[in-house]
Copies of this chain bind each other. A is one copy, B any other.
Amino acid sequence: MIASPDPTRAGAVFFALGDPTRRELIERLSGSDTMSVSGLAAELPITRQGVAKHLGVLERAGLVEATRSGRESRYRLRPEPMSDAADWMAQVGAQWDSRLARLGELLGGPTKE
């Protein structure tokens, strides 16, 4: 029941991780169970609303999950979708490799990088 590789989701993950502030958020969340929006904003040089927007992007990519607890919503890291991105890269790399291998055979010798 592992999350199946979803090429669509991979794109969202790449996009989400393409922003340094969002990577920063991910790193913070990887070190604690859950964090509130304000808690995260307190550690960053941008406003709470700015953080909230970034969390929205991460949530749409499936990388974080929000749970409302009283008056605050706590965010938890959800690393699973990253495997879709990793799969995409592995697949591209593999195809590249096999292409290299075929080329090597054609040339009649092992081809090194």
Interface residues in chain A, defined as those with a beta carbon under 8 Å from any beta carbon in chain B: 11, 14-15, 17-20, 23, 26-27, 29-33, 77, 79, 82, 85-86, 88-89, 92-93, 95-96, 99, 103
Enumerate 22 A-B pairs (CB-CB under 8 Å) in ascending A order: A11-B18, A11-B20, A11-B23, A14-B18, A14-B23, A15-B18, A17-B18, A17-B85, A17-B88, A18-B18, A26-B92, A29-B96, A30-B93, A31-B95, A33-B103, A77-B96, A79-B89, A79-B93, A82-B92, A85-B89, A86-B86, A86-B89
In the assembled complex, how far is the CB of residue A15 from the closest CB belonging to chain B, in whole angstroms? Answer: 4
Give the number of copies in the complex: 2
In the assembled complex, how far is the CB of residue A7 from the closest CB belonging to chain B, in whole angstroms? Answer: 9
Contact B31 A99 (CB under 8 A): yes
Residues of chain B contacted by A79 (CB below 8 angstroms): 89, 92-93, 96
